[in-house]
Structure 1
Amino acid sequence: MTHKIDGAMSPALRQIDAAASSSVQSRSGAERGQPVGATAAADQMRLTGDATGLQALERELGAAPAGIDVAKVNAVRAAIADGSYRVDPQAIADRMLSLENALSK
């Protein structure tokens, strides 16, 4: 037995769909296409001491002045622009190792 699928809804299915639509509308009191209001969330969240400390630190850093030495930044910019700025790879490596040692303790 074969059935042709043509994408059209049969009259019997249209009646069922219409009945379902009206029952949904009568139960909810609104049309099907209207958004449904969300219920209030009952979830709660508790922060650990570390998370609370990080939030406090973030607030402090956001409120504090940046502490940028504008004169030094301008001097480095000028040195880069005229090609006189030199990178000391040994100093960079030493500082990276110092940081690694401090973090691993």
Structure 2
Amino acid sequence: MKIGPLSEAALTPATGPVRSERASTSAGLAGAQDSSGVPVSVSAAARSLEVSSAGSGIDEAKVAAVRAAIANGTFTVDAGAIADKLLSNAQEVLSRMRD
């Protein structure tokens, strides 16, 4: 798995109270208030992300095959491949930090 590039927005800390309950991102929340009485609005772009995440592109057949392999003890992990990816991702992050 490759981690995507970091953006400045991803590194900026959030301000104010942040709620993580799934219900707080429903489409009917535009203009609603959270438990502290602070007005909350969810942009159309944010709502479209929630809708599009429903069809997240997860290969259910592959998940079932991996789950079955784990259950019957035949799943193997290629530690070398994982180490290579971790090192590659670390090198990429470090090279971006130097720029």
TM-score by structure 1 length?
0.42
- Larger helix share, 1 or 2: 1
Name which one, 1 or 2, has greater alpha-carbon Rg.
1
| Bigger relative contact order, structure 1 or 2 (CA pairs below 8 A, ≥6 apart) | 2
